[in-house]
């Protein structure tokens, strides 16, 4: 059993004593976020990772690349995504005003496409002809298959057999988009095993293949690169809230599986020290049950999938199976930057169980007419706890990271309804 | 002197190449491993690579993934593997044993505690597949303090800069992964291997072992002609899988394949 630590361990004093900017501080040139991150992969991938880093550094400063990325985000993805004041839900909760960052309105229905657009443009410039990706809920797989279709690249998506069964619609979407979906039958047959299998593919086909990792995990430079592509969420939200409310928010809330939508919202606010930051992990059946996916709340540091971070692991260092009603949060690790933000106390990590997330899923649908993804429902559920403790003139921004159409069958099945 | 260096020095005098079999500890069950190690030595193994099972073997193909799963069904831990080495040492004090696995079980035990326990058990070298030298400072220091050899991988993609870095961090031997891919991958190109070994030897006097894609006497002989050591893994693990649960058959089949390889390597 893993040692259960408090979900509220925060060492605020460490950062309150300093005004040093956090943006741009991490990672270092070897990919370290404090003691986390790094590059823990077999030797075959070390040179390809360096090449990826060099290419990324180069194109980040290339006006043509940035112009193409911006144009795609605007005209293909539909950015900027709206920031919406959920007045009905705010009244319902009776506390702070809740704004929703509507990543569910992006093309393909989630924040994932912000990153796949960026990485696919890199792949094209590197002359790669084949794209691979791992997926859990299928959102990243769909977002990858989408950009691969548009750029005419061959696309292979690795997905755990368990996730294939519970996300049938997304599997079919990927196939419609021309991707090959490979069912991963090893280990727990979920996201972590899909990531293992994608790594094995990459090491074998590294000459012509670009691996689009979907979250802020993996070996350097992925955690930093994916963060930078997702940070548009927070940059827009920071500007939009000032236009709409005339000030910065008091709190940010986002769900954390690997943590890409969360870091995307959080990062541009890291130096706004008065903005409280909450990352919401999946408590599954409850943190005490052992059946959850909350490494920051109840795990301990280790090394998996190319980086050092908090993990769900047993006393022998074996990765243990996770559980969440939400396939996209069902992952035993978490991005190393979140591990760092937890340790320095800049962000607070909490957990929401399956039942609480499902309640929020229903509430938002009924009260606001917005069907949220089960992943995002974890963030919404934490807002229902936090908002009533705050004043009515205070502001919370919740990242509505994806839409819930893909989850209708899961929710119906849980409630014994045949669709 | 380290058992590994001693082993290669003796082989050099006899103009022989090292045969290094890999098996996953605890596969197909924990009772298999120690007798199998002795059987492999009797069949001509010079060094044994003992796999430490891990739940997420990212660099392994399906054969060794399944071996880890079989071992983990018996909850074989890093401490269990060290106990197996200690038991092997009761009867064999000269054959070097190298642990091969992933970093996380070592992280969980702690680098210093692990190095002390490994030395105490009679381990000679440690190869952590997902630990490049850039991240290895503390583990290498812990291993050195116990006179254990850190073994590192070299790959077809390694450039001169990395070959130099890796050979400086390594002792005992270096392990050249002959194909881009996971363990058990096929297409071994011996002339490409020979070219790469020439490049590697410009940077080091350490013995160079070659693995990935070696499955029979013929491929073992071809690699032995250019390398200092031949590493064979998936071909053996496949035999364990086919004879799972039948201890005598596992020993006999693996010894049989190793003897053929040994004969092929020594024939030239």
pLDDT confidence of residue A18? 62
* 3-class secondary-structure state, position A58: helix
pLDDT confidence of residue A250? 98
**Average pLDDT for A70-91:** 98
Residue B211: DSSP 8-state: E
* Statement to judge: residues A257 and A297 lie in one domain: yes
Query: Is A306 within 8 Å of B130 (Cβ atoms)?
Result: yes
CATH of the domain at B167: 3.20.20.70
| B177 CB within 8 Å of a chain A CB | yes
Q: Name chain B contacts of A316, Cβ cutoff 8 Å.
A: 75, 77-79, 105, 108
Let me know if B137 is a catalytic residue.
no
CATH of the domain at A54: 3.40.50.1100
Q: Which residue has the tokens 């490994």?
A: B118
* Statement to judge: residues A257 and A191 lie in one domain: no
**Average pLDDT for B188-211:** 96
Overall number of domains in chain B? 1
Sign of the dihedral through C-alpha B180, B185, B191, B195: positive
From the number of C-beta atoms within 10 Å of its C-beta (0-12, 13-18, 19+), residue A392 rates as exposed
Q: Which of residues 106-135 of B touch A (CB under 8 A)?
A: 106-109, 129-132, 134-135
pLDDT tens by residue, B39-69: 999 999 999 999 999 999 999 999 999 999 9
**Average pLDDT for B115-124:** 98
Q: Which two tokens stand for residue B246?
A: 């039948």
pLDDT confidence of residue B42? 98
pLDDT confidence tier of residue A30, bands split at 50, 70 and 90: very high
* Statement to judge: residues A200 and A342 lie in one domain: no
Let me know if B60 is a catalytic residue.
yes
Q: Is the pLDDT of residue A264 over 70?
A: yes
In residues, how long is chain A? 419
The CA distance from A365 to A104, in Å, is: 13
How far off is chain A from B266, nearest CA to CA, in Å? 30
pLDDT confidence of residue A419? 81
* Statement to judge: residues A287 and A362 lie in one domain: yes
Domain end call among A196, A225, A254: A225
Residue B222 within a domain: yes
Residue A419 within a domain: no
pLDDT confidence of residue A187? 87
pLDDT tens by residue, B242-261: 999 999 999 999 999 999 99
Q: Which of residues 309-328 of A touch B (CB under 8 A)?
A: 311, 313, 315-320
Q: Which residue has the tokens 């977002």?
A: A143
Q: Which residue has the tokens 């899961």?
A: A410
pLDDT confidence of residue A307? 98
Residue A139 within a domain: yes
* Statement to judge: residues A331 and A215 lie in one domain: no
pLDDT confidence tier of residue B187, bands split at 50, 70 and 90: confident
Domain end call among A210, A225, A240: A225
Domain end call among A208, A225, A242: A225
**Average pLDDT for B147-169:** 97
Higher pLDDT, A413 or B186: A413
pLDDT confidence of residue A134? 97
Q: Which residue has the tokens 């079989």?
A: B70
Measure CA A360 to chain center: 19
Measure CA A6 to chain center: 23
Cβ distance of B180 and A318 shorter than 8 Å: no
pLDDT confidence of residue A4? 35
How far off is chain A from B210, nearest CA to CA, in Å? 14
Q: How many other CB atoms sit within 10 Å of the CB of residue A14? A: 12
Nearest chain A residue to B59, by CA: A200
Residue A309 within a domain: yes
* Statement to judge: residues A97 and A116 lie in one domain: no
pLDDT confidence of residue A274? 97
Q: Is the pLDDT of residue A14 over 60?
A: no
Measure CA A145 to chain center: 18
**Average pLDDT for A96-122:** 97
Query: Is A296 within 8 Å of A279 (Cβ atoms)?
Result: yes
Angle between helices B247-267 and B33-42 (to 10 degrees): 30
Higher pLDDT, B21 or A15: B21
pLDDT tens by residue, A304-330: 999 999 999 999 999 999 999 998 999
Average pLDDT, chain A: 94
* Statement to judge: residues A94 and A153 lie in one domain: no
Query: Is B142 within 8 Å of B149 (Cβ atoms)?
Result: no
Overall number of domains in chain A? 2
Residue A133 within a domain: yes
Residue B268 within a domain: no
Q: Name chain A contacts of B59, Cβ cutoff 8 Å.
A: 42, 199-200, 203
* Statement to judge: residues A254 and A118 lie in one domain: no
pLDDT confidence of residue A2? 36
Q: Is the pLDDT of residue A89 over 50?
A: yes
* Statement to judge: residues A254 and A393 lie in one domain: yes
pLDDT confidence tier of residue A1, bands split at 50, 70 and 90: very low
pLDDT confidence of residue A11? 41
pLDDT confidence tier of residue B268, bands split at 50, 70 and 90: low
Of B103, B108, B162, the CB nearest to A40: B103
pLDDT confidence of residue A247? 98
Of A30, A196, A205, the CB nearest to B56: A196
The CA distance from B125 to B150, in Å, is: 6
Query: Is A158 within 8 Å of A201 (Cβ atoms)?
Result: yes
* Statement to judge: residues A212 and A123 lie in one domain: yes
Nearest chain A residue to B176, by CA: A43
Query: Is B183 within 8 Å of B60 (Cβ atoms)?
Result: yes
* Statement to judge: residues A167 and A272 lie in one domain: no
pLDDT confidence of residue A177? 98
Query: Is A220 within 8 Å of A227 (Cβ atoms)?
Result: no
pLDDT confidence of residue A8? 36
Does the bond joining A221 to the residue before it have cis omega, within 30 degrees of 0?
A: yes
Q: Which residue has the tokens 């030395």?
A: B119
Q: Is the pLDDT of residue A135 over 60?
A: yes
How many percent of chain B have pLDDT more than 90?
95
* Statement to judge: residues A298 and A339 lie in one domain: yes
Q: Is the pLDDT of residue A6 over 70?
A: no
Structural domain span for residue A50? 32-74+112-225
Does the bond joining B114 to the residue before it have cis omega, within 30 degrees of 0?
A: no
Residue A5 within a domain: no
Structural domain span for residue B50? 3-263
Cβ distance of A196 and B108 shorter than 8 Å: no
Cβ distance of A43 and B106 shorter than 8 Å: no
What ipTM score was computed for the predicted complex, to two decimals? 0.96
pLDDT confidence tier of residue A300, bands split at 50, 70 and 90: very high
Residue A6 within a domain: no
pLDDT confidence of residue A255? 98
pLDDT tens by residue, A272-289: 999 999 999 999 999 999
Q: Rounded to whole angstroms, what are the CA distances from A306 to A23, A63, A216, A303, B11?
A: 23, 31, 11, 7, 37
Q: Is the pLDDT of residue B113 over 60?
A: yes
Average pLDDT, chain B: 96
**Average pLDDT for A144-161:** 97
pLDDT confidence of residue A418? 85
């Amino acid at each position: 059993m893993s040692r259960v630590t408090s979900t509220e361990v925060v060492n605020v004093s460490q950062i309150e004593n300093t005004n040093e900017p956090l943006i741009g501080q991490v990672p270092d040139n070897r990919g370290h976020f404090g003691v986390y991150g790094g590059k823990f992969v077999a030797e075959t991938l070390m040179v390809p990772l360096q090449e990826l880093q060099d290419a990324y550094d180069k194109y980040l400063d290339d006006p043509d690349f940035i112009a193409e990325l911006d144009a795609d985000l605007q005209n293909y993805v539909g950015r900027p995504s709206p920031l919406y004041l959920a007045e009905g839900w705010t009244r319902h909760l009776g506390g702070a005003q809740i704004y929703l960052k509507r990543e569910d309105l992006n093309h393909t229905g989630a924040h994932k496409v912000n990153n796949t657009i960026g990485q696919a443009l890199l792949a094209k410039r590197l002359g790669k002809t084949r794209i691979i990706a791992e997926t859990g809920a299928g959102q990243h797989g769909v977002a990858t298959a989408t950009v691969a279709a548009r750029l005419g690249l061959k696309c292979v998506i690795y997905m755990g057999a368990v996730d294939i069964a519970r996300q049938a619609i997304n599997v079919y979407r990927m196939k419609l988009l021309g991707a090959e979906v490979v069912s991963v039958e090893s280990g727990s047959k979920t996201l972590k095993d899909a990531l293992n299998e994608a790594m094995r593919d990459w090491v074998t086909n590294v000459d012509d293949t670009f691996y689009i990792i979907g979250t802020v995990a993996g070996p350097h430079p992925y955690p930093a690169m994916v963060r930078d592509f997702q940070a548009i969420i927070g940059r827009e939200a920071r500007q939009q809230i000032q236009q709409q409310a005339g000030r910065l928010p008091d709190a940010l809330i986002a769900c954390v599986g690997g943590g890409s939508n969360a870091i995307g919202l959080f990062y541009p606010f890291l130096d706004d020290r008065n903005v409280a930051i909450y990352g919401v992990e999946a408590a599954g059946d409850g943190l005490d049950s052992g059946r959850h996916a909350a490494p920051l709340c109840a795990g301990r540091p280790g090394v998996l999938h190319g980086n050092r971070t908090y993990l769900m692991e047993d006393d022998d260092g074996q990765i243990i199976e996770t559980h969440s009603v939400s396939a996209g949060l069902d992952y035993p690790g978490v991005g190393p930057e979140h591990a760092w933000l937890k340790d320095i106390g800049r962000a607070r990590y909490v957990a929401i169980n399956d039942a609480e997330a499902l309640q929020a899923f229903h509430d938002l649908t009924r009260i606001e007419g917005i069907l949220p993804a089960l992943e995002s429902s974890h963030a919404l559920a934490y807002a229902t706890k936090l908002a009533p403790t705050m004043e009515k003139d205070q502001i919370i921004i919740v990242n509505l990271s994806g839409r819930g159409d893909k989850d209708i069958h899961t929710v119906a099945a849980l409630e014994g309804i045949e669709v | 002197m380290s058992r590994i260096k001693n082993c290669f020095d003796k082989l050099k005098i006899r103009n022989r190449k090292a045969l290094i079999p890999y098996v996953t500890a605890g596969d197909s069950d924990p009772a298999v491993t120690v007798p199998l190690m002795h059987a492999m030595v009797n069949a001509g193994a010079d060094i044994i690579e003992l796999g430490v099972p891990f739940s997420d073997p990212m660099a392994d193909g399906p054969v060794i993934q399944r071996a880890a799963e079989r071992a983990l069904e018996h909850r074989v831990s890093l401490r269990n593997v060290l106990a197996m080495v200690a038991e092997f040492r009761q009867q064999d004090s000269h054959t070097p044993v190298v642990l091969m696995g992933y970093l996380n079980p070592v992280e969980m035990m702690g680098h210093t505690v692990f190095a002390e326990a490994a030395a105490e058990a009679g381990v000679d070298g440690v190869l952590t597949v997902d630990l490049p030298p850039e991240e290895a400072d503390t583990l290498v220091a812990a291993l050195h303090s116990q006179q254990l050899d850190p073994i590192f991988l070299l790959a077809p993609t390694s450039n001169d800069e990395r070959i130099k870095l890796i050979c400086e961090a390594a002792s005992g031997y270096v392990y050249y992964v002959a194909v881009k891919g996971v363990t058990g991958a096929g297409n071994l190109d011996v002339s490409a291997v020979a070219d790469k070994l020439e490049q590697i030897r410009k940077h080091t006097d350490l013995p160079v072992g070659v693995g990935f894609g070696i499955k029979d006497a013929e491929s073992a002989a071809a690699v032995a002609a250019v390398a200092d050591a031949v590493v064979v893994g998936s071909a053996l693990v496949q035999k364990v899988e086919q004879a799972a649960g039948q201890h005598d058959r596992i020993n006999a089949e693996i010894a049989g394949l190793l003897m053929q390889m040994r004969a092929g390597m020594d024939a030239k």
